[in-house]
Amino acid sequence: MTMGFLAISLRKDWARMRRDPLSLATAAGIPLVLAVLITLVFGREPATPRGRLLLADEDDTVVSNLIAGAFSREPLGKMLVVEKVGREEGRARIDRGEASAFLLIPKGLQHAFLLDQPFRMQLFTNPSERILPQIVKETLSIVVDGAFYLQRVAAGQLHAFAAKGTPTDLEIAQVSVSISHLATNLDKYLNPRVIDLETEVAQAKTAEPSFAAILLPSMLFMGLLFIANSLAGDIWKERVAGTLRRLASAPVSMAAFLASRVVFVAVVYGIVAIAGLVAADKLAGMPVPSLPAAVLWMAFVGTVFYLLFLWIAVQPATQRAANVLSNLIIFPLSMLGGCFFPFEWMPAWMARMGRLTPNGWALTEFKAILDGNAGAAHLAASAALLAGVAALAFVLTLRRLRRGFAV
């Protein structure tokens, strides 16, 4: 094959692809759509209700601030936004349904708490909501219960506070320490130790792969398969248009034609791989530590897929039969080979089988490249194996083209 024909042929194929971009876009777009759908269904954090708690703190003391703080800590902090308001504003807004609940803490809370006197706080809830007002109510009950038990076990210290008026920092620290000692003394009765544990520091666990790192390699390989199928189907367009037959009567060999197609396909895959990997990295957070190796592997594997699908496409006698046959092969292969559902989500026995399929094997190698676990020698051996498969598919396809398909 002369370089001249290669250049002319590449120009022709490139121009044809530019005029009909939909074929390639469809093949590449199916995995993209699936990835988005799967991410929407499985990939997000569990949905968390987000509500608003209005708080009118007229006491504005340490104790009232502790109560307000209880609603701002995790995990309530993720569910509720605490907004301080005045009494009237709070009532008006909860009446308008602008919040999940409104808590009114009148003046005198701290004093009543320290002296163990009855006190009344008011909680107004939004009847149009069910979950968040209930959570606020339960939380407030726990806080009140906690205050009750604290008064039971530390009444002396609390009374001392009340007698001294506003405590100093030192006094707060002293009371805190004495309460801590009290709690420690009670601990053996409240939480009796029934099991002795031996503590062993385990090695740091490898970070779990992210959702994107699991899903996107599969989607990229699904794209490779669909693109291979689409590009291989083009041989039927050539046949139906009569251009294949015309070419057979030209001095340029069918091997040169096929080789030029393979080069074109490799270039297309190179572009698709770069675009796909960069997008996966930048948009979805899939780590790609070695972009050149990943691109080369995708382009190489895609070209081998193309040759395999081309060989399949030229076997039947009609275009319809070729479409049916390639669909019969591509869908089970995609599903079993980890391209629809990642191996990580499959039952172990199915994942084991899937890794034996051509695309499953290539995908496993690809993930090893992404994880940085693929050695150069191992990759070279894998590439040699793929090259052998590609050469065989090339020869068999060429034979079929020469023996009847082209004419």
Partner 1 sequence: MRMCACSAAGRADFSGPTRATLALTVIEVEQLRKTYGDLTAVNDISFTAHPGEIFGLLGPNGAGKTTTISCISGLLTPTAGHVRILGHDVVREGTAARRVLGVVPQEISLYEDLSAIENLNYWGGAQGMRNPLLRERVANVLEITGLQDRAREPVKQFSGGMRRRLNFACGIVHQPKVLLLDEPTVGVDPQSRVRLLDLVRAQAQSGTSVLYTTHYMEEAETLCDRVAIVDHGRVIAAGTLAELRSMLSERDLLRLSGVFQPDAARAAIEHLDGIEILQADEGLLILALPEASRRLPAIFAALAAAGADVRGTTLTQPSLESLFIKLTGKELRE
**Site residues, partner 1 (CB under 8 A):** 2, 4-5, 8-9, 11-12, 15-16, 19-20, 241-243, 245-253, 407
Rounded-to-integer distance, Cα 364 and Cα 352, Å: 11
Name the residue type at position 248. Answer: A
Find the shortest distance in angstroms from Cβ 247 to partner 1. Answer: 6
Find the shortest distance in angstroms from Cβ 378 to partner 1. Answer: 41
Find the shortest distance in angstroms from Cβ 359 to partner 1. Answer: 30
Are the CB atoms for 360 and 343 separated by under 8 Å? yes
| Residue 31 in tokens | 């995995």
Are the CB atoms for 129 and 81 separated by under 8 Å? no
Which residue, 12 or 78, is less far from partner 1 as judged by CB? 12
Task: Report, in angstroms and rounded to the nearest whole number, the Rg of the chain calculated over CA atoms.
Answer: 35
Which residue, 244 or 370, is less far from partner 1 as judged by CB? 244
Which residue, 34 or 256, is less far from partner 1 as judged by CB? 256
Find the shortest distance in angstroms from Cβ 254 to partner 1. Answer: 11
Omega before 133 within 30 of 0, i.e. cis? no
Which residue, 17 or 353, is less far from partner 1 as judged by CB? 17
DSSP-derived secondary structure for 366-383: HHHHHHT---HHHHHHHH
Find the shortest distance in angstroms from Cβ 218 to partner 1. Answer: 33
Task: Residue 143: name the closest of 172, 179, 119 by CA.
Answer: 119
What DSSP element (H or E) covers 391?
helix 376-400
Rounded-to-integer distance, Cα 168 and Cα 390, Å: 82
Are the CB atoms for 372 and 290 separated by under 8 Å? yes
Which residue, 173 or 241, is less far from partner 1 as judged by CB? 241
Which residue, 234 or 365, is less far from partner 1 as judged by CB? 234
The total of other beta-carbon atoms located within 10 Å of residue 165's CB is 6
Which residue, 93 or 239, is less far from partner 1 as judged by CB? 239
Which residue, 14 or 331, is less far from partner 1 as judged by CB? 14
What lies within 8 Å, CB to CB, of 224 at 6+ separation is 269, 272, 298, 301, 302, 305, 359
Find the shortest distance in angstroms from Cβ 18 to partner 1. Answer: 9
Which residue, 181 or 245, is less far from partner 1 as judged by CB? 245
Find the shortest distance in angstroms from Cβ 402 to partner 1. Answer: 10
What lies within 8 Å, CB to CB, of 322 at 6+ separation is 233, 236, 312, 313, 314, 315, 316
Find the shortest distance in angstroms from Cβ 232 to partner 1. Answer: 18
Find the shortest distance in angstroms from Cβ 214 to partner 1. Answer: 39
| b (16+ CB within 10 A) / e for 15-53 | eeeeeeeebbeebbebbbebbeebbeeebeeeeeeebbb
